[in-house]
Structure 1
Amino acid sequence: MFNKNVKYFTTGEFAKICKVNKQTLIYYDQIGLLSPSMKDDKGYRYYSIAQYDFFSVIELLKAVGMSLKDIQTYMAAKSPDNFLELMQQQKDIVSKKRRQLEMIEGIIDVKINSTKEALQLDFEQITIEYQAEEILYLSRNIENSTEEQFVKAVSDFIEELDRSQLDTGHPIGGITKREHVLAGHYDNYSYLYMEQPQPRTGQPYFKAIEGEVLVGYHVGPSSTLSDTYKRLLKVMDEKGYVLGQYIYEEYIYDAVTKNRDQEYVTKIMLEIQKS
């Protein structure tokens, strides 16, 4: 029997209120998650406005990643205490997701800004610049690695950045020691790194010392990197400088922005000192 004091809605009307299609409500009824308040002799379904809040909670739980099966489990044993516990659990999940989204937003901002800066660069120019102290997160030592060991080191470093939430959006770079560059072993990296503008306490960071650096750009694949290094070292010598302890490399343009490795751009920064 219909209660004359309660307004009932057809499936179509209730679906419109809930902003879903009728099939969603029919499916919820079939699995026993949300059944109509009334069904008449002809099989027509009717919902009450009181069921809208019930529907909203289902959609809320779905939005935070809860499965219909888990929602059904809760609904089978619902109580005020269980509801409070469930809401607190979901609040914790949302807080974690919000932190993750804020981190992602920060990464996107870094990539936007660095790409805008790259568009203003003259890749033929070699300059001497003052380098402020930078905090870097390093990989394990990868000196004298085989190609297979290097690939694994990159994979492990990326996994470590993700696990420790240390991916700041800055490019992964490589540090080479002075002796390897002077010996012509330009790709014998000692460490991988990622800049950490907001370092956290308790992390084993490396400080790139402040001072003068010679900055140049290599356009093309890594196989031709030696040509650019020779040019940089020649300019360094002509200007009366000697090579410092570390050399830093990082991509300006890579596979994210360019289709061919001939168009990749690597920024090379050589620590230098007056001879």
Structure 2
Amino acid sequence: MEKNLKDYFTTGEFARLCNVKKQTLFHYDDIGILCPELVGDNGYRYYSYMQLEVFYTISMLKELGMPLSDIKKYLDHRSPRAFIDLLEKQQLEVEEKIQDLLWLKRFINTKLDITREGLTVPINKIFLETRPEEYLIATEYVGADVDKDIAAAVTEHLNFCHSLDIYSAYAIGGMIPIQCIVPGQSYIYSHFYTRTDCSNSGEVVVCPAGDFAVCCDNKGYDNVETICARLLQYADDCGYRPGTHIYEDLLLDEMSANGYDNYTVKLSLPLYKA
């Protein structure tokens, strides 16, 4: 056997080739998933070049989340057909992970856009904004203007969105009927909504493209009634017909603002030619 050892790698050499610690190879040997091809009279382990491919396959399957016990079962009964079945299964799992990562990337990008808008948007100034067609998942609110009822309704709305497999980067918004905007009185929501990119759901409400009068405030919800009244007055002064609801969105919330009173709220009123 001595004359053939030059064709083999010691545990340390094989570990360096595989970019792992020797302890990993010892563990694989202990559980029988990758045993050295030769063991010398001195107890030293020796691996062959051909075992590199086995190691890389084990590493790939581990990276995909396959337990070592399942990898061992496959290796103990490996065959071309079994290998095809294994790869096809892993192919599906990889595709699912890719889709999950793409969704997460879109989620992060949207959160970045919203937060950056919250940092740069004019505060307490009315401005015009032209928007494309948007899609909302909306649920009706019939409760009172009390925090407990609102919190329960928001939870129900979230659960409804999740039942549709919709997880949005946008904070939940509220629709305020313009007839409820009375100076000196608190406002009440008619619906809660979540913005979504999904336009093919039967539950989607389409918000048409158009112009909006917009005003933002960084003092939480304290000035919402006053701002809503200002938006309606702006529409009247400029000769617009207002939409039926004002849309209330959060740009900076608990994730980025320190405290409820420091939220940045965006209020938008659709405008139509009179």
TM over 0.5: yes
* Farther-moved stretch of structure 1 (43-52 vs 214-223): 214-223
Matched, 1:186 2:187: yes
The 1:101/1:31 distance shift into structure 2, 3 A limit, reads: same
For residues 192-245 of structure 1, the C-alpha deviation after alignment (integer angstroms, 9 at most, x for no partner) is: 22142xx34344211113444221112223355334334444444544556421
Pairwise CA distance, 1:272: 4.1
Which residue is equivalent to 1:92? 92
Report the counterpart of residue 127 of structure 2 in structure 1. 127
2:107 matched residue in structure 1: 107
The one-letter amino acid paired with 1:47 is Y
Q: Shift of the alpha carbon at 1:133?
A: 3.0
CA contact (8 A) 1:36 1:47 kept: yes
Determine the C-alpha separation between the residues in 2 that align with 1:40 and 1:160: 65
Partner of 2:25: 25
Aligned to 1:220: 219
Classify the secondary structure of the residue corresponding to 1:136: strand
Counterpart amino acid of residue 214 in structure 1: A
CA contact (8 A) 2:121 2:216 kept: no
Aligned-partner SS, 2:254: coil
Structure 2 partner of 1:72? 72
Number of aligned positions between the proteins: 272
Q: Deviations over 1:149-174 (max 9, x none)?
A: 54344345445545645445344322
Q: CA deviation at 1:87?
A: 0.5
Greater mean alpha carbon deviation, residues 53-62 or residues 181-190:
181-190
CA distance in structure 2 between the partners assigned to 1:166 and 1:108 by the alignment: 15
Question: 70-79 or 95-104: which moved more?
Answer: 70-79
Aligned counterparts of 2:109 and 2:194: Cα–Cα separation in 1: 19
- The answer as to 2:50 corresponding to 1:50 is yes
Distance 2:235 2:26 in 1: 75
In 1, Cα distance between the equivalents of 2:158 and 2:26?
46
Note the residue ranges of structure 1 that are not aligned, 5 or more in a row: none
**How far is 1:42 from its partner?**
1.9
Distance 1:58 1:87 in 2: 12
- On the 8 A contact 1:167/1:194 being kept in 2, the answer is no
Q: CA distance change for structure 1 residues 235 and 180 in 2, over 3 Å: closer, same or farther?
A: same
**Equivalent residues of 2:247, 2:269 under 8 A apart:** yes
Matched, 1:264 2:258: no
Q: Structure 1: how far apart are the matches of 2:259 and 2:147?
A: 21
Give the structure-2-normalised TM-score. 0.85
Match of residue 136 from structure 2: 136
How far apart are residue 65 of structure 1 and its match?
A: 1.0
Superposed counterparts of 1:167-246, under 5 Å: 167-182=167-182, 184-196=185-197, 199-239=198-238, 243-246=242-245
Task: State which drifts further: 159-168 or 96-105.
Answer: 159-168
Could you tell me how far apart the structure 2 residues matched to 1:229 and 1:170 are? Answer: 21
Q: Deviations over 1:51-88 (max 9, x none)?
A: 11101111101111111122122223222111110100
> Are the structure 2 counterparts of residues 189 and 76 from structure 1 closer, same or farther at C-alpha, using a change threshold of 3 Å?
farther
Matched, 1:253 2:248: no
* Alpha-carbon distance between aligned partners in 1 of 2:234 and 2:136, rounded to the nearest angstrom: 27
Query: Structure 2 CA distance, aligned partners of 1:261 and 1:149?
Result: 18
Question: Any conservation in 1 of the 2:220–2:260 contact (CA below 8 Å)?
Answer: yes
Deviation string, structure 1 residues 93-122 (Cα, Å, up to 9, x no partner): 001111111121122222333333443321
Whole-Å separation in 2 of the counterparts to 1:8 and 1:163? 57
- In the alignment, is the contact (CA less than 8 A) between 1:212 and 1:271 conserved in 2? yes
Determine if contact 2:136/2:193 at 8 Å carries over to the other structure: no
Q: Is the 8 A contact 2:214 2:267 kept in 1?
A: yes
Question: Displacement of 1:267 after TM fit?
Answer: 0.4
Please give the root-mean-square deviation of Cα atoms over the aligned residues, in Å.
2.8
Q: Once the two structures are aligned, what percentage of the paired residues are identical?
A: 30
